[in-house]
Structure 1
């Protein structure tokens, strides 16, 4: 049997947010035909469990120059796609277990895509801290889900073990940035490789190609970016900028 395509995403990453949205617009069967894998930098306990399996996180610190480039590129790219963008200002050293482990719990209920859309809308359209317990529960409840039950996933031993498993899969697939796509033997990294991924999906599944309108940014690349972010290196990611998020 042919191995299903994979999409590695991060709820922290703006490039991941835009790539997933564009993918699902351009290839409507994405949620049916692609296996989605969440990624986040694990806390101490999960990191230790991952290390015990002989795996690790393939990330490195981001320089200030790359960070500032990324902020301008996010703004420019969001404008090109016509997305509203509210800049979330995250807490330094923030852990991301809550929303990603909750996503795994939602997947068991068949609700993962509903939760995902609610969380990215809260984060990137309203600038909310989706890793905050109250914000998360409110967001999930508003989407018609059981926010309290999903929030509890962070402490569920089975879900945490599953989390280690998906992080190990990222290690085995050599994932070092987001979004990251795999189809057949092809590996494609970044929003700027989405065209190739969609083309490969269309060829594999006999879908007709589609197009999306785009808008061009016409202002200072960093105009409107909160001043807290210009000095908070690695606010949304710690890897290289470019097509990664």
Structure 2
């Protein structure tokens, strides 16, 4: 019996540096695959979303982040960004509510600007060091993209978007996603930046060499949020 959704899926989190790097690799090196996949958000639910998810019969994978893992991620992301010629600015998160940017994504998606929103939000967070859980930041990004600032910045208060968020969290549960970046192609699943080439080959049926990238010396320094619980980072 075929899956109800045979479209390749990419689960992304605007919080995760690894998800950001996988996004850049997919868009920059394999744009044809990036255009063919369904982009699905992954985020740690707040208390209200967690309650709605439980009431719908779902659950969210949660594993606490250890200090050792946090320090490793700092070192690892520094290596990976250097390889790609990227210069990150580590954000500092204070009491983040991840529904703010991830429910805003649905507003952009409905306007046909889902990818553009993801791209701009990643840049704001990982290259400009901005707090994307700040509603004012969301309003500014929305205005830049020609989206309704009030709707984007207040997406977290929209009941319909909350219900869509619950459905998205149920999709995470159904697909067995435990961290990001996570890619699904039919029955094949791939987790992590290093599995992206395998996902691309699965989708495209080719083993094309990736576009080479330049190296750059950079020092991202220390930031507040070194990844997310239960994921690749």
User: Normalised by the size of structure 2, how large is the TM-score?
Assistant: 0.91
- 2: CA distance between counterparts of 1:38 and 1:10? 6
- SS at structure 1 position matched to 2:146: coil
Among residues 23, 31, 36, which one is paired with 1:33 in the alignment?
Answer: 36
- Where structure 2 has 5 or more consecutive residues not aligned to the other structure, the ranges are none
- Where structure 1 has 5 or more consecutive residues not aligned to the other structure, the ranges are none
Partner of 2:134: 132
User: Over aligned residue pairs, what C-alpha RMSD do you find?
Assistant: 2.0
Aligned residue pairs: how many? 230
8 Å CA contact 1:183, 1:197 repeated in 2? yes
CA shift in 2, pair 1:27/1:216, >3 Å: closer
Structure 1 stretches of 4+ with a deviation exceeding 3 A read 214-219
Partner of 1:236: 227
Partner of 1:69: 72
Matched, 1:225 2:221: yes
CA shift in 2, pair 1:218/1:112, >3 Å: closer
8 Å CA contact 1:58, 1:174 repeated in 2? no
- 2: CA distance between counterparts of 1:194 and 1:31? 11
Among residues 87, 96, 115, which one is paired with 2:98 in the alignment?
Answer: 96
User: Normalised by the size of structure 1, how large is the TM-score?
Assistant: 0.87
Partner of 1:209: 208
Cα deviation, 1:136-166, whole Å, max 9, x if unaligned, reads 1112212332222212221111111000001
Cα deviation, 1:220-244, whole Å, max 9, x if unaligned, reads xxx5422xx4xx5x6421125xxx1
- Give 1:1-245 correspondences, 5 Å limit: 3-91=6-94, 93-203=95-205, 209-215=208-214, 224-226=220-222, 229=223, 235-239=226-230, 244-245=232-233
